[in-house]
Amino acid sequence: MNIKNRLILMNFLEFFIWGTWLISLGGYLIVKLEFTGSQVGRIYATMGIASLVMPALLGIVADRWINAERLLGLCHLVGSLLLFWAASVSEYDTMYYVILLYSMVYMPTIALNNVVSYASLKKEGIDIVKVFPPIRVWGTVGFIFGMWAIDVFDWTLSPLQLYVSATSSLALGLYAFTMPACPPTRSTKDGSLLSSLGLNAFVLFKEKQMMVFFIFAMLLGAALQITNTFGEPFLHDFGESYPDSFGVKHPSILMSVSQISETLFILTIPFFLQKFGIKWVMVISIFAWVLRFALFGLGNPGDGLILLILSMIIYGMAFDFFNISGSLYIEREADPSIRASAQGLFMLMTNGIGAFLGGTLSGWVVDYFTTDGIRNWPSIWFAFAGYSLVLGLVFPFVFRYKHLGKVSLTR
């Protein structure tokens, strides 16, 4: 099997694991375990808490001491055990800490997956900008397959979703050890304390535009978490008014239109980066989030189904243009000796601080607009749309990164 196909399989499994529970777990926690909006928000915010430290920390480890592919495998093996444990938990406190521990080993694997992919392609002399996005598409396909498998077997409100994820994590943990070696790139030329601790990536904040980029990455990271947490609970709440609608019967399949959209928009990233540059790709992403939330507020699984579908389609642009383009931007701007650390830092800002803020604050917003157990979803979604709109209006004026024409990651 050539390296492209091997990376396709690795990316597929990486996101299949996430797809089997990320979107559906919120419904399981609210409907079956009867957790409150704030409790569910805090559980999802564990991904943010873990990402505050773990991706950057393990990025440092991969830069300095342990092969990235081995570290990726170890994380998934430990994660498998934790998911098996989570499937048997029904009380809030225990579930919170188990998911926190799992997040601490899973969240770094997203950046490590990129590191292994980039290193493997470079070793073969392959252009990352042209080849990686089509490979990464298969990660999105894996996410969709995970969502559909859980929905088709009617496990969206069952702990079986966690057993499927645990088994998949075990498989990827073992497979990762067979990937090409990605050894540390530690250099002994710089004997400073900063270098010895592997904290070089934080010097990126000294560059004004990089700092602005990271701040908005954090703020947009909050938006990423919101529909992951409350998308399916939103659809389940239409159970009485639209009991026979497709969206209520198959919420994961409807939500998966978002990921299907990703597979299309991700292929456009090279074109948009070459044509417009990172600044305007990010601007497009921010305003896509405005539409994503606003259409949720206007739609329903009945006569408003088309609005929900449009929201799902727009998600592909909102997510890909921000997440993948941001990763490629960091890969381009960071020094080769700190690239794994820099990817980890990017994850810290988006899936760390941003996800923590998104999970925690969105839970408060949901409870604020909840009266006697009835959630006012239009007000909830419009509040999130307003937040994204403010970001979209400010970003073009403070991020002055100049588009340099052709994008290249070679040095």
Task: Say which CATH number the domain at 215 has.
Answer: 1.20.1250.20
Is position 189 within any domain?
Answer: no
Give the range of the structural domain holding residue 102, as residue numbers without chain letter. 3-180+195-398
Query: Does residue 73 belong to any structural domain of this protein?
Result: yes
Neighbours of 343 (CB within 10 A): 29
State whether the Cα torsion 126-127-128-134 is positive or negative: negative
Q: How many domains does the chain have?
A: 1
Write the CB contacts of 277 (distance below 8 Å, at least 6 apart in sequence). 401, 402, 403, 404, 407
| Residue 185 covered by a domain | no
Report how far residue 322's alpha carbon sits from residue 212's, in angstroms, rounded to the nearest whole number. Answer: 14
Looking at residue 308, what is its pLDDT?
Answer: 94
Q: Is the pTM of this model over 0.75?
A: no
In a domain, 406, yes or no: no
Whole-angstrom distance, CA of residue 336 vs CA of residue 286: 29
Angle of helix 160-176 relative to helix 3-19, nearest 10 degrees?
Answer: 160
Is 409 contained in some domain? no
The helix (run of H) or strand (run of E) holding residue 395 is helix 377-398
Is 392 part of any domain?
yes
323 inside domain: yes
At 410 the pLDDT is 38
Question: 362 vs 38, 330, 388, CA distance in Å?
Answer: 8, 28, 13
Residue 52 confidence (pLDDT): 77
Burial class (CB in 10 A: 0-12, 13-18, 19+), 91: exposed
Asked whether residue 380 is assigned to any structural domain, the reply reads yes
Measured CA to CA, the distance from residue 209 to residue 395 in angstroms comes to 11
Output the pLDDT for position 407. Answer: 47
- Per-residue pLDDT 10s for the chain (411 aa) are 688 889 999 999 999 999 999 988 988 998 889 898 889 989 988 988 887 778 777 877 887 888 888 999 999 999 999 999 999 999 999 999 999 999 999 988 988 888 888 888 888 777 777 788 788 888 888 988 999 999 999 898 899 999 999 999 999 999 999 988 888 876 544 444 454 444 566 777 777 777 888 888 889 888 877 877 888 889 988 988 888 888 888 888 898 888 788 778 877 887 887 888 777 888 899 999 999 999 999 999 988 999 999 999 999 899 888 877 777 777 777 777 676 667 767 877 887 788 788 888 888 898 899 888 888 999 999 999 999 999 999 998 888 766 555 544 433
* 232 C-beta neighbours (distance < 10 Å), count: 27
d(CA 173, CA 169): 6
Contact 383, 365 (CB under 8 A): yes
Distances (CA, A) of 118 to 250, 315, 344: 36, 25, 14
pLDDT value at residue 15: 93
Q: What is the phi/psi pair of residue 304, to 5°? A: -100, 20
pLDDT of residue 312: 92
Nearest-angstrom CA–CA distance, 196 and 381: 46
**For residue 341, what are the β-bridge partners?**
none
Residues facing 375 on adjacent strands:
370
Helices (H), 153-268: 160-176, 193-197, 208-236, 246-249, 251-265
Q: Please report, for residues 115, 206, 216, the alpha-carbon distance to residue 212 in angstroms, rounded to integers and kept in the order given.
A: 24, 10, 6
DSSP state string for 339-362? HHHHHHHHHIIIIIIIHHHHHHHH
Give me the phi and psi of 375, to 5 degrees please: -95, 130
